[in-house]
Structure 1
Amino acid sequence: MKWTGEDMDMFTRAKEYIDTVILPLCPVSFQENLDRTVEMTDYISFLVHPLEKQFKGRLLLLPSFTYLKPKEGDLPIELLLNWEEELRASGFNYIFYLTSDQEWQTKESALNGSIVCMPSVPIRKHDLNDRNTILEDQVKQIRSLFTEKWQQSKQV
């Protein structure tokens, strides 16, 4: 489900079945990394929608968490911890942060959610068939990761 009026109506009726949330992490920079951060955001945007469709009824796709790309690796961890607190209190057992910003991988231990870092591909430079193939491969990898996390908690 997406953060839209229609989907949120369904969410309130089926809340007990929706235990997973995706929060895309999208950097913004108007300096030397402008093109790179645009590419990262584009790529994550292309990836999250097929995931949302596949797991509709199991997960909620939140609007992107947009942040200024720091120069020294000073990522907004405290803000994500606030998100986690709110999401856990709202009944979400699984929090996945989807990003192409590799710096987040070094911060995963500070978070309770899972960082899913997918190296971005300049997706708009590919023709439609190549784009779909690339995205399908990446979505399969992410789907496997989600399934693995869900399975692990059943075994505990």
Structure 2
Amino acid sequence: MKWTETDIAVYEKEREYVDTAIVPLVPISLTSNIKTIVSMGEYITIISGELERQLKGRLLLIPAVTYLQTESMDERVDRLKQVEAELFKGGMKHIITLTADIDWKQSEGQVESALLWMPAIPLEHMEGQYKMETISAQVKQVLQFVTNTWQSNINS
């Protein structure tokens, strides 16, 4: 389910079945490595959207948590922790954060969500068919990660 009025209306009725939130982490910068930063955000946005489409009714895709590339990791982690707290308070059992920013890997142990880092694949010069195949392959891996997250929480 998406962060839209229509989907949230359904979410409120079906809340007991929607136990997972997807949180895209998207960096912002207009001063350095702009193309790389934009590519990371675009990639995670596409993967998140496709994941939501395939698991609609089981998860909620929240708006991206954005941060400035110049922010310290402590500031970024604090903001994500606030989002996590709100989502857990709202009844989410699983939170999965998706990022293409390798910097998040060093802080993975500081957050409660399951963090999935995926290197951004530059999509701008790919032909349509190859682009869709690449995205599909990546989403398949993310689906496995989500399933493993659900399984590990059942077994703990």
Q: TM class, shorter-chain normalised?
A: over 0.9
Contact 2:43 2:120 in 1 (8 A): yes
Q: How far off its partner does 1:8 sit?
A: 0.5
Gaps of 5+ in 1: none
The answer to whether residue 82 in structure 2 is matched with residue 82 in structure 1 is yes
**Matched residue type, 1:21:** A
The structure 1 segments of at least 4 consecutive aligned residues displaced by more than 2 Å after TM superposition are 70-75
Percent identity for Structure 1 against Structure 2: 35
**TM-superposed deviation, 1:70:** 2.2
TM-superposed deviation, 1:48:
1.0
Q: Per-residue displacement from partner, 1:12-49 (whole Å, max 9, x unpaired)?
A: 00001110001100001111211110111111111111
Letter in 2 for 1:39: S
Question: Structure 2 regions of 5+ residues with no counterpart?
Answer: none
Kindly state the Cα deviation for residue 50 of structure 1 after the two structures are TM-superposed.
1.3
TM-score, with structure 1 as normaliser = 0.95
Q: Which residue of 1 aligns with 2:103?
A: 103
CA deviation string 1:71-124 (max 9, x = no partner): 765551111111111111111111111110010011110000011111001112
Q: State how 1:7-86 maps to structure 2 within 5 Å.
A: 7-70=7-70, 73=73, 75-86=75-86
- The separation in 1 between residues aligned to 2:125 and 2:42, in whole angstroms, is 11
For residue 2 of structure 2, what is the aligned residue in structure 1? 2
In 2, Cα distance between the equivalents of 1:75 and 1:68? 10
Q: CA RMSD in A?
A: 1.3
Cα pair 2:22 2:59 within 8 Å, conserved: yes
Q: Distance in 2 between matches of 1:139 and 1:27?
A: 21
Number of aligned residue pairs: give it.
Answer: 156
State the match for 2:121 in structure 1.
121
Q: Deviations over 1:130-151 (max 9, x none)?
A: 1011101100110001001111
Helix, strand or coil for the counterpart of 2:124?
helix
**Whole-angstrom distance in 2 between the partners of 1:114 and 1:13:** 26
Secondary structure (helix, strand or coil) at the match of 1:14 reads helix
Distance in structure 1 (CA, Å) of the matches to 2:12 and 2:46: 26
Amino acid at match of 2:19: D
* TM-score normalised by L of structure 2: 0.95
3-state SS of the aligned residue for 1:109? helix
Aligned to 1:144: 144
